[in-house]
Chains A and B, each alone.
Chain A
Amino acid sequence: MKSMKQKILYLFSTLLLMSISVLAQTGDGRIVGVIIDDSGEEPLSGATLFIEELKKGAVANEHGKFSFSNVPAATYTLTAKFMGYHTQTLKIIVGKDNPKKITIRLKAQTQSLSEVIVMGKSEARKIREQAMPVSVISMKQLQGTVSDVQGVLAKTVGVAIRSSGGVGSTSRLSVRGLEGKRVGFFIDETPLNDQSDFIDLNDIPTDMIDRIEIYKGVVPAKFGGSSMGGAVNIVIKEYPSRYADVSYTRESFNVNKAQTVFKRNLKDAGVVFGIGGTYTYADNDYTMESPYIKGLKIKREHDNFKKLVLGGSMKAKKWWFDEVEFEPVFIDTYKEVQGIETDIRKAHTKSRLYLLANKLEKENFLIEGLDLEMNTAIGYTQYSLIDTAKVWYDWNGNSYPASSPHGGELGTRYASNSDNEKLTMVNKLNLEYLVNKNNSFSLNSVFTLANGYPSDPTKEKSIGKKVDFNSYMRSWVGGATYDFRTTNDRFLNSFTTRLYWYSMKTSYQNIYINTPPEGIKLNKRSIGFSNAMRYRLTPSLMAKLSGGYDVRIPSENELLGDGYTITPSEKLLPERNLSVNASMLYDRTGTHPSNLQIEFGGYYMYLRDMIRFTKGILGAQYQNFGEMKTLGVELEVKADIFPFLFGYGNVTYQDLRDVRKYEENSKLPNATKGKRMPNIPYFMANAGLEFHKENLFGGKGQNTRLFTDMAFVEEYLYDFEITENTKRRIPRSTTIDIGFEHSFMNQRLFVSGKIKNVTDAMVLSEFNRPLPGRSFGVKLRYIFR
């Protein structure tokens, strides 16, 4: 009986070996082979192979062939990887005499919508399994909506987005109550915070996005920079060989958006070309109720917004680098200033941004086991504020002469006609060295250069002197990370330390006196560290614990103002944040039909020298606030309730409190100690359902999605709650959006529609910025493939 079993086993092994042997090459102590696509037998040029035990790597050539020489006889673990395919790990026995010949067939990752490649054990899940606290909005969720990126982000646990008006209005993204520049903004890991005044989250069509990663609390070192509180990384899809996508959206208030993407993959050359663009035109002419004059309805007639975004890309995968990518981007924006206090009729802003981004990636860079990734972006921006109207109007149509004889209707007492320029460069370098299966080191560096060249002769004439000066800011954040992972992958620990440095050179003119401008030179340094742990209790249940002491360098904009209305505050100190995050994640994605995910987490933050935006009589500026403590809890649940129904819900409670003991520069007790930080939402919840069914109305190749989303934000105060009669409140809001998407022709033609704010609930931003009520939108999209 035993002998029979052995025979069968032997026969089976032989068959198996035969089935995977295709190529025959000669040589002693070698492994030779070919790596091909599982379905099409197409060679996977550029695929990487790695022998764990020897720390040896190889890259498949244009025919998919690879080889390892001088391999001592033993059993090895070989890992084969290629973008868009499942990674395969196999045991190989290498004998003394004959070369080991193998054929590896990699299976393409699951396709969704037949248009893009999505990771099998979904990349989204892998990211969630990192030690850092992170939320991932997967393509599945992106598809189940016709919202823009901000709309999608706003539904995420711990995230709040506060717009000030319609399409193109300024909006603030906050993660765990921390907002503005401290939330890192990345596209494919390229840091774009310096451009965030010109590139908006909504400039990226959701159709182009593979997933959105939202890091909270501790941000992974590979993102570099000095993000604090959180970071948003938008990952753009990988496209198939030929692809074209055209869409047009029309919404209420004459909002029109046209988008297109073309991709061409020259497989033989290993080069992918792409070009795309969006054009947005919006009147935003919704009617709002004046927050100043009871019963006065105002139609917003000076809120026109036009934006053209053109982008190209060239990605090469067969050059010396595993991946080289160049992306030129051009963005042209025109925006009128809508008045609320007064009827502004002429003031507007315009900007043009030219950006060139480059990405280089190479595994086994110079030495085996060393991976390199470098992102560089150079941007040049021209931006202007034009405020030269000689008269201004109240909402009764009465006109008044501008305060300054040079004009100006924005209430600043001076006119502006600026022609500012800004040059920025950011370089991010990550080097990761895989010591062995359990240990890896990485070095990260982010260098930023920002030169500002403001020019506003009209403002100079109005004020009687020059108050905006050229500025030169440099910053560098260097980090070192050590990752430890147990062999069974149960435990992962990531420790990072960072060094922060920045310098600034500019001039400052006191607006009150006519003394020569003072030179300002800053040169500051700081150090921070963080540690993150993840422990897998069961294959589906894991615990995460992380903590850090992070530093955030003030941005150039915070130090120097914006050249419009934000005045310089060059004495700002860097923010420092001590945080502890703990969470439990139960994740059945891909392992259970419900794909249930439940994440419950809590965190503690202690922020010193918080940089806060304040508005005063003489303009707005950023200021260090002192100390603030946050305790927060978050709960998120997502599941396929039925095969045809997906649901999600999340709740965020974040309690941010002022903990300064004394008033600035004194021994006086702080009047707001223990009070909740003003103008930051503290309780939010979101929930949604998505129904989807193929051929719901008969026919073939059709798919229908129906969905509804609800967002709830509890009332919060614009000021510290010092009295029982605090007046400036941002009322509780509950908004419900509903929508549908119907696709024809096997996901080629899409028709979708939405109704935002179905109940026409009144929503205010700040305490006096009315947002649009109910609005409608339809979208038509066609994919050529």
Chain B
Amino acid sequence: MKLVRKESLLMAMTAMMFLMASCDKNNGDNPTPNTPLGGEGNILLGTTVKNADGISGQSYLQQITELSGTLNMTKGVQIGFSGSVSVVGNDIFVFPEFGPNGKQSVEKYERSQEGMIHAGELQITPNSYPVNLTQVSTEKAYIPMFNLGRVMVINPKTMVKTGEIDLSQYAHTDNSPDPSYGIIRDGYYYLPLDQAGTNWMPYEDYRQVDVAVIDTKTDKVLKVISEKSSGLCFPTRPFLKDMIFTDEQNDIYIACAGYFGYNPQYIKNGFVCISAGKQEFDENRTWDISNTDITGSEYRAATVYNCKYIGNGKVAAYVGVLELMGDNPYTARNSMAVMIDLKAKSIEKIDGIPYTDGHSIAIEYHNGEVLFSAYGVNASGIFAYNLATGKVKQVLSSSGNIAFMHFFK
């Protein structure tokens, strides 16, 4: 009897060992090719579920059919934390998360109403921090590498690198001028240089706006133009596409974030302008908005976090409020939705949109409504501001931070 018990124990242990050894499981990192991912719909949303520190967490990309109800993230495709997204037509380019731990490739998805299909990837230089794509033609696009001070030239169709533009010689003090988000006008790529220091903030001895002017035919840097008189700095944020835009006159406006409201001693921020037909700044049209009162609010703007040109000189924006910075700038609800009038040089608070943190500051213009993503104390999701009525209503609620929106036709 005893022997039987011992043998049973031995057999059980051996069986357990073999069972374990024979176990195998796919890790799920290689989804079946050509299977549409990310859900159905014509609205693309990027959502972040952040950790308590605000500087880490996880992010998802998904499609939905309409802005209503509560966002369900179960169909989301996981991307790098706060990974940025560029959309060209029906092509979606997903960039790795900022920082040394990010993935070392740019992923391309081709989307339809049914979902997103993985359509290629482009290996990148580690630590280079590519964050956006600007298309020159169907076979050529630029990807600035923020940390490396270079611009990758690629074929977006084949996802093959075809060239590189080195901007490191224009860097102040360090080895990268931190190329940010550019725009193409008249065959030239106007690429703002953030000139950030080790702490990701502008150098104190270099508070100016630099923009590299690149000939899209030759990929050569024509020149770097600078706006030095106003003290504005940090032109565009590298993952936000609408902080550089052209208006109806083809004038380029560039929103400058300055010190993001982190530096109470230096809150200059606002807009610089490169007029149509010129390749120099028009300093007369520079506007430091930190000195402008905001109608409907006791605060002034300590930074521009994001903006979207609506037309007729109107810019919908999130501005940062110094007084609301709190202990943790990554989680502080210090962003206020405003409407900026570039012509009248006036700013007005949009009531009804909650103060939000830095992760939910997406702004889009769709069907006559300005849509703001916000992560308030009592409500989070997407809020629609009707330009005609001036009314705001929440159209989608979400437990995560909605960080990106795009409406496909």
The chain A residues found within 8 Å of chain B, CB to CB, are 292-293, 341-342, 392, 394-395, 398, 400-405, 410-414, 462-464, 510-515, 569, 571, 594, 612, 614-618, 621, 623-626, 637, 639, 641-642, 645, 647-649, 663-672, 685, 687, 689, 708, 710, 712, 715, 719-720, 722-729, 731-732, 734, 736, 759, 768
User: Beyond A715-B25, A722-B49, is A341–B104 a contact (Cβ under 8 Å)?
Assistant: yes
Separation of A645 and B125 alpha carbons in the complex (Å): 55
Find out whether the CB atom of B104 lies under 8 angstroms from the CB atom of A725.
Answer: no
Which of A616, A621, A623, A715 gathers most chain B CB within 10 Å?
A: A616
- With an 8 A cutoff between CB atoms, is B264 at the interface? yes
- Give me 17 A-to-B residue pairs in the complex whose CB atoms sit less than 8 angstroms apart, sorted by A's number: A292-B104, A341-B126, A512-B199, A512-B201, A513-B259, A569-B53, A615-B56, A615-B101, A641-B10, A666-B380, A689-B13, A689-B14, A725-B31, A725-B78, A726-B28, A729-B29, A732-B23
Q: Is B311 an interface residue (CB 8 A)?
A: no
8 Å CB contact of B9 from A464, A639, A732: A639
A642 to B3, CA, bound (A): 9
Contacts known (A403-B198, A649-B16); A411 close to B127, Cβ less than 8 A: yes
A626 contacts across to B, CB distance below 8 A: 52
Q: Indicate the member of B105, B198, B263 with the most A CB atoms within 10 Å.
A: B198
Residues of A within 8 A of B82 (CB): 617
Q: B28 and A405: CB pair below 8 A?
A: no
- Establish whether residues A637 and B9, one from each chain, have CB atoms under 8 Å apart when the complex forms: yes
Q: Is B204 an interface residue (CB 8 A)?
A: yes
Tell me the count of chain B residues lying within 8 A, CB to CB, of chain A.
77
Q: Chain B binding site: helix, strand, loop or mixed by DSSP?
A: loop
Does the CB pair B55–A720 fall under 8 Å? no
Closest 6 CB pairs of A and B: A616-B55, A411-B100, A671-B399, A512-B262, A712-B20, A292-B104
B residues near A, CB below 8 A? Answer: 6, 9-10, 12-14, 16-17, 20-21, 23-25, 27-29, 31, 37-38, 49, 51-53, 55-56, 58, 60, 62, 73-78, 81-82, 97-101, 103-105, 123, 125-127, 147-148, 168, 173-176, 197-201, 204, 259-260, 262-265, 327, 331, 375-380, 399-400
| CB pair B127 A342 closer than 8 Å | yes
Given the known inter-chain contacts A645-B10, A649-B16, A685-B20, please indicate yes or no for A571 contacting B53, CB distance below 8 A.
Answer: no
Measured CB to CB, the nearest residue on chain B to A624 is B52
Further 9 A-B residue pairs, CB within 8 A, beyond A664-B331, A708-B17, A710-B17: A411-B99, A512-B259, A512-B260, A641-B9, A647-B9, A719-B58, A723-B62, A727-B78, A759-B21
- Contact A394-B125, Cβ < 8 Å, known A341-B100, A403-B147, A728-B78: yes
Chain B: minimal CB distance from A408 (Å): 9
* Complex-state Cα separation, A392 to B313, whole angstroms: 46
A617 x B98 contact (CB < 8 A): yes
Inside 8 A of A670's CB, which chain B residues have their CB? 399
B198 touches A462 (CB 8 A): yes
Shortest beta-carbon distance, A539 to chain B, in Å? Answer: 19
Q: Which residues of A contact B103 (CB under 8 A)?
A: 292
Q: Which of B12, B58, B127, B331 contacts A720 (CB 8 A)?
A: B58
Contact B6 A594 (CB under 8 A): yes
Separation in Å of the B152 CB from the closest CB of chain A? 13
A380 to B87, CA, bound (A): 56
Chain A proximity of B360: nearest CB distance (Å): 11
CB distance from B44 to the nearest CB of A (A): 15
Instruction: List, in ascending order, chain B residues with CB within 8 A of A615's CB.
Output: 56, 101
In Å, the complex CA distance between A319 and B132 comes to 75
Complex Cα gap A522–B23 (Å):
51
With contact pairs A614-B51, A618-B55 given, residues A719 and B199 touching in the complex (Cβ less than 8 Å): no
B22 to chain A, nearest CB (A): 8
Note all chain B residues with C-beta closer than 8 A to A734. 20-21, 23
